[in-house]
Amino acid sequence: MNDILVTGAGGRVGTVLRAHWRASGRAVTLCDIRPLGDAAPNETIVIGDLLDPAFLERVLKGVRVVVHLAGNPWNHDLDAILGPNVEGVGQLYETARMQGVRRILFASSNHVVGMYHSGTRIDTHAPVNPDGYYGVSKVWGEALARMYWEKHGVESLCLRIGSSVPLPVSERHLSTWLSPRDLCGFIDAGIDVRALGFDIAFGISANTRAWWDNSTSRLGYRALDNAEDYAAAILANASPPANPLDALLQGGDYASEGFTDGAAAREGDR
């Protein structure tokens, strides 16, 4: 097996990275619970459930870097999140420690800070402010990553992925867009940087209207693309969201859902 393991390789982010590495020739092992199709010359494919301890131990043998993309992105179902996003991440870090894995690139999310108001500029030192169960599960992953660095020397990059889509199409994307090229750049930098320790970076392109500041990250990757290039077309076709909180809060529709009666009104009055 290759010494770089990518979990959740069949998802949206994994699909972008897979195409990038096929072009660059980087050797990777791809893991998912679902079929991944035929392997390219640079790929090894393993299929299995990361919640199976025997499978997890087997797939981590000889691995130097894990790109951990596997997880459940749905915000409204706590029970569905607890397995892959909480228990699964805990098992991954402990088994990685036991197997001598050097580094984990943890796919965190902008939803760990989704309750900040739009337009509020924050850096990676700002207190977490999650906008739902999904964001809370990513806070857990970031905390676990920090602990495994401090106590066990397992390096981690927690990449708080923004809106990872081919092109920005909404007003929110003008602040949160992560282009495919910059996504691949962040991940390649996390794999290749000589010393990482524990670090957090916001996974966004060099957007003029960005809410998130990466100057406190030590990763050193400088994004190349800018959603502002598409601003005129986006704003010409923009319409107010059905829920005003979608525009008020950085987490968008993840942040606006699930309010107790009256709490949403208080949030809008702040």
Cα gap 186→188, rounded to integer Å? 6
Domain span at 219 = 4-269
List active site positions. Answer: 134
Q: Could you give the C-alpha distances from 128 to 44, 83, 115, 131, 255, in angstroms and in order?
A: 37, 22, 9, 10, 14
| Structural contact between residues 51 and 8, judged by C-beta atoms closer than 8 angstroms | no
Confidence (pLDDT) at 2? 81
Long-range contacts at 139-144 (CB < 8 A, ≥ 24 apart):
139/112, 140/85, 140/86, 140/89, 141/85, 141/89, 141/106, 141/108, 142/106, 142/108, 142/112, 142/200, 144/89, 144/90, 144/93
Query: Any idea what DSSP says for residue 259?
Result: P
H-state helical runs in the chain:
12-24, 53-60, 78-81, 88-99, 133-152, 173-176, 180-192, 231-236, 245-248, 253-256, 263-269
Q: How many domains does the chain have?
A: 1
Confidence (pLDDT) at 236? 96
Cα gap 210→118, rounded to integer Å? 10
| Structural contact between residues 115 and 266, judged by C-beta atoms closer than 8 angstroms | no
Residue 46's Cα: distance from chain center in Å?
22
Confidence (pLDDT) at 268? 56
Confidence (pLDDT) at 118? 97
Residue 245 sits in a domain whose CATH number is 3.40.50.720
Give the DSSP H or E segment for 28.
strand 28-32
Token pair in block for residue 84: 């892959």
Q: Could you give the C-alpha distances from 86 to 71, 81, 91, 216, 260, in angstroms and in order?
A: 9, 7, 9, 27, 25
Q: Say which residue the tokens 């999650």 belong to.
A: 130
Confidence (pLDDT) at 148? 99
pLDDT tens for the 270 residues of the chain, in order? 689 999 999 999 999 999 999 999 999 999 999 999 999 999 999 999 999 999 999 999 999 999 999 999 988 789 999 999 999 999 999 999 999 999 999 999 999 999 999 999 999 999 999 999 999 999 999 999 999 999 999 999 999 999 999 999 999 999 999 999 999 999 999 999 999 999 999 999 999 999 999 999 999 999 999 999 999 999 999 888 889 999 999 999 999 998 887 665 556 555
Q: Which of 59, 94, 76, 69 is nearest to 17 (CA)?
A: 69
